[in-house]
Amino acid sequence: MQFIYNFVLTSSILFGSLYGLILSVDPYNKFGNNPFGFETKAVDFARVNKFNQVEHGKKDYTAFIMGSSSAHRYLTKELNRLSGLISYNYSTQSATPEDFLAMTRHVLKKYKPKLLILSFDFEGLNKNVKTDDMFYASPLKNYLKEVPKEELKTDLFNNSYLTLEALGDSFKVIWVNLLGKANHAYLEDGDHRYEPAPKTVKIDQFSGGPYEIDQTRVTYLRTIKTLCDQNGIKIIALTSPLSIEHVRRLESDPALKKSLHDFKNTLITIYGELWDFENETLAPFNDVKFFRNSNHATHDFSTLVLERIFGKKDGPGILLKK
């Protein structure tokens, strides 16, 4: 009996100490905790970093790119060259329409944009994919008045913090801030750093689970269209590029193939036309020069996409219209 008591007591103290450390370091910035004044976190918190860049920007941005991490590598200098505008890449990890609407409202508060490029992930309209809880820990949540108040609360015991990975990232934060040099993934204008090329294009983040179009998110996208129409902003909507093997795996499943079709038709209905980069035109580009993995294009391929959209070069993609 004494052994069990000591074991439970020791385990509770150990768990409390380690979880307390994780909460204090807050490596994913879910609670906004930073009692040690660390310069950076283990996971670069794009929604805060980019929000602040936009909020305190000195340039008169007139074009914005919004998407998930799949849209990180659209270089603003290339969009500037092709559009003649001054652009900012507001893409963040795991972004969904909640992010896009909040970002649009944030942008309109300070700037007078002429162009908005929206890069849509297939999973982004899936009702079964939850909003990234990092959205609720960022200033962007204040620009989405539609969010129920109960969703703005962050549970003390957060699932992503009850992991060995979170503990490891907490020690990483401490190490980097005390003994190393903090390097941020995002550069000026929201651009993303270049990374070494992978050895192969692996199929990554493929979900074969149930898919249902989220009508609340559809409403968010319609609201963006209304805001842009009211402010004279042109919208270019596109599907986030997928490697051909990823596309073929989706289309080999009858249910997912139908869902992919519904996803594209929903966007066409809202925006009138859609540049589609999730089809067989991607077949010649199944190479590490163009894709880091099956749903993250390289800087080179991202530039090809922009050149295709602006009519400068033939290449991948199909323009779909109503």
pLDDT (0 to 100) of residue 40: 64
DSSP state of 238: E
Q: Is the pLDDT of residue 271 over 60?
A: yes
d(CA 117, CA 237): 6
Give the pLDDT of residue 155.
Answer: 56
Answer whether residue 149 shows pLDDT above 70: no
More confident residue, 11 or 257: 257
Amino acid at position 282, single letter: L
Are 273 and 225 in contact by the 8 Å Cβ rule? The answer is no
Other CB atoms within 10 A of residue 308 CB: 20
% of residues, the chain, pLDDT over 70: 86
Q: Is 80 exceeded by the pLDDT of residue 186?
A: no
- C-alpha torsion sign, points 176, 179, 180, 182: positive
CB burial of residue 307 (10 Å; 0-12, 13-18, 19+)? middle
C-alpha angle 205-300-54 in degrees, rounded to nearest 5? 75
The average pLDDT across 137-143 equals 89
pLDDT score recorded for residue 83: 98
62 contacts 114 by C-beta, under 8 angstroms: yes
pLDDT at 281: 96
User: Is the Cβ–Cβ distance between 91 and 68 less than 8 Å?
Assistant: yes
> Measured in whole angstroms, how far is the alpha carbon of residue 297 from the centre of its chain?
13
Residues 298, 92, 188, 101, Cα dihedral to 10°: 120
Is 64 within 8 Å of 113 (Cβ atoms)?
yes
pLDDT at 41 over 90: no
Residue 216 has pLDDT above 90, yes or no: yes
Q: Give the number of C-alpha atoms closer than 13 A to the C-alpha of residue 140, restricted to the C-beta side.
A: 31
Q: What is the pTM of this model?
A: 0.81
Q: What is the pLDDT of residue 183?
A: 58
The whole-number average pLDDT for the span 303-307 is: 97
Q: Are strands 296-297 and 273-276 parallel, antiparallel or unpaired?
A: unpaired
Please, which pLDDT band fits residue 151 given cuts at 50, 70 and 90? low
Task: Identify the H or E element spanning 281.
Answer: none
Is a pLDDT exceeding 90 seen at residue 173?
Answer: no
Per-residue model confidence (pLDDT) at position 168: 73
Q: Any idea which of 55-59, 75-79, 162-166, 282-286 has the lowest mean pLDDT?
A: 162-166
Residue 138 has a pLDDT of 85
170 pLDDT above the threshold of 80:
no
Confidence (pLDDT) at 159: 56
**pLDDT for 146 beyond 90:** no
Averaged pLDDT score across all residues of the chain: 87
Question: What value does the mean pLDDT take over residues 91-98?
Answer: 94
Average pLDDT over residues 115-139: 91
CA 74, CA 189: separation in Å to the nearest integer? 11
- How far apart are alpha carbons 121 and 1 in whole angstroms? 55
Alpha helices in the chain (DSSP H): 2-25, 46-55, 76-83, 97-110, 133-136, 164-179, 215-230, 244-251, 254-271, 299-309
- Residue 197 DSSP one-character state: P
What φ, ψ does residue 222 adopt, rounded to 5°?
-65, -35
Of residues 187 and 79, the one with the higher pLDDT is 79
